[in-house]
Structure formats: C-alpha cells, structure tokens
C-alpha cells in the first residue's frame, strides 16, 4: 500500500547561495555567510513549530576546507561565536543539539564547544533535535564507517552495522531534503541516509528563503506518495 506523506519527521537543508546573495547586493561574501546564519536561526525555529522533529543543516562540507584561508577562518569564527551561542540557547530550551562530521578537523576551541553542547543536551526532553553537518562529507562518512568496522574485525558488514558506525548514528533519516540556491544535486549530503528522501530544489538563495516557502514545500511534501520501492 502506498503511504501518503504527512509532516516530515526529519528535514535536511542544504543552505546554498550565501555568497551569490551577497554578490547580487554588492556586499562582501562574508556578509552573505552572516545573513545565512540569521536565516538558519529563523528557519530552525519555524520548522519546529510545524511538527518537524529533527532538522539537519548542511553547514560546512569537507570540500569547504579547500576555500581560501580567509573565508574558512571567518566561517570557523562564525561557528565558534554566534552559532554556538544560538545553539546553546536552543539547548537551554530543551532542544537536543548534535554535530555530524569529521569534527577532529575543527579548531580545538570549536571542537570542545561542540562536544560539550552535544553532551549537555543529550537528555533534552522536547523531542526536537537540531543536527549540524559540520566538516561533513558523505563519502568520508561512509569510508570512516567501513574502516571502523574493518578495524573491529568485521568480516561481513550488514546494514545495521553501517548505521551504528556512521557519524549520524541514532539520527533519523531525512524524509525531506531541501536545497536552496538553484543547484539540483546533494553534493555529498547524507548519501547513505537519503536513499528514500523526497527532494525539493528551489532557486531562492538561502538568505532570501522564507518561512512561507518552507511551508509551501511542506504542503507539497504532504501530497506525495512514498512507496519505498513497494
């Protein structure tokens, strides 16, 4: 029997278009990243009011480490400052915060803050979770999981073994993935977890994305039939 979707329990968002948004306005690209952070704060809170249980934000990919030292440094400062303050506020409100990625590559101060925030919010009681994909790459995650299982002596790897070895262990697979900015690809975002995700692509640049557009996507999602291969 086909399953008609209702509100997605887990929504993944690829927040693309910060630099182009700034360029269109004659602003430094760093201003685009700052605007993108403000938009993330708005959409996270709105999503939780729409019965979304988990939001997964693609904040910084493993490939993003190849950007200029100036841009990477700015982003790390942004994550370590404003982002962590905002995430700490969410945690105090009872929302679980977790990070998914190769966190060992982060600056030490940011790494320590991320781990402390994860541990401190692990017992959150709201039933809501914000997961931040930080220093994340889908291939890197799968390779890390396989190598971990091989090191444990696994001779045959089953699906449940992979699920337990991934950086995202315990996180619900996304029912819905939204990508802003006009590109129609996932760019390494949760390839293992997204095999049955509904995909939505919008030309809207991330800082210009609105709560109304988010709601429109949710409404369309609710009309889709999710067969899951049946």
- Per-residue pLDDT tens for 90-115? 999 999 999 999 999 999 999 999 99
pLDDT of residue 122: 94
- In whole angstroms, what is the distance from residue 122 CA to residue 79 CA? 20
Both tokens assigned to 21: 């948004």
| pLDDT tens track for 2-14 | 444 578 999 999 9
DSSP 9: S
Percent of the chain with pLDDT over 70: 96
| pLDDT tens track for 108-140 | 999 999 999 999 999 998 999 999 999 999 999
Residues near 151 by beta carbon (within 8 Å), at least 6 away in sequence: none
Average pLDDT (48-65) is 97
Kindly tell me if the per-residue pLDDT of 51 is higher than 90. yes
Residue ranges and CATH numbers for the domains of the chain are 9-221 (3.40.1180.10)
Model pTM? 0.94
Which residues are the active-site residues?
16, 64
| pLDDT tens track for 165-213 | 999 999 999 999 999 999 999 999 999 999 999 999 999 999 999 999 9
- Per-residue confidence at 228, pLDDT binned at 50, 70, 90? low
Residue with tokens 């809170």: 45
- In whole angstroms, what is the distance from residue 205 CA to residue 164 CA? 35
Kindly tell me if the per-residue pLDDT of 215 is higher than 80. yes
- In whole angstroms, what is the distance from residue 137 CA to residue 176 CA? 19
Average pLDDT (30-57) is 96
Arithmetic mean of pLDDT over the chain? 94
Average pLDDT (145-162) is 96
């Amino acid at each position: 029997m086909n399953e008609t979707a209702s509100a997605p329990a887990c929504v993944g968002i690829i927040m693309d278009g910060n630099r182009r948004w700034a360029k269109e306005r004659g602003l430094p690209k760093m201003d685009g990243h700052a605007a993108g952070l403000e938009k993330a704060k708005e959409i996270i809170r709105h999503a939780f009011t729409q019965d979304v249980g988990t939001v997964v934000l693609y904040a910084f990919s493993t490939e993003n480490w190849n950007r200029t030292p100036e841009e990477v440094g700015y982003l790390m400062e942004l994550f370590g400052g404003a982002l962590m303050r905002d995430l700490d506020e969410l945690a105090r409100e009872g929302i679980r915060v977790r990070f998914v990625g190769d966190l060992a590559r982060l600056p030490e101060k940011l790494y320590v803050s991320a781990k402390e925030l994860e541990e401190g919010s692990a017992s959150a009681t709201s039933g809501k979770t914000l997961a931040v994909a930080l220093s994340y790459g889908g291939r890197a995650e799968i390779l890390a999981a396989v190598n971990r299982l091989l090191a444990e002596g696994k001779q045959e790897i089953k699906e449940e073994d992979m699920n337990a070895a991934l950086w995202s262990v315990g996180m619900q697979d996304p029912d819905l993935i939204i990508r802003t900015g006009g590109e129609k690809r996932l760019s390494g975002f949760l390839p293992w977890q997204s095999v049955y995700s509904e995909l939505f692509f919008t030309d809207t640049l991330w800082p210009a994305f609105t709560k109304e557009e988010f709601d429109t996507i949710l409404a369309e999602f609710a009309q889709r039939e999710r067969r899951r291969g049946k």
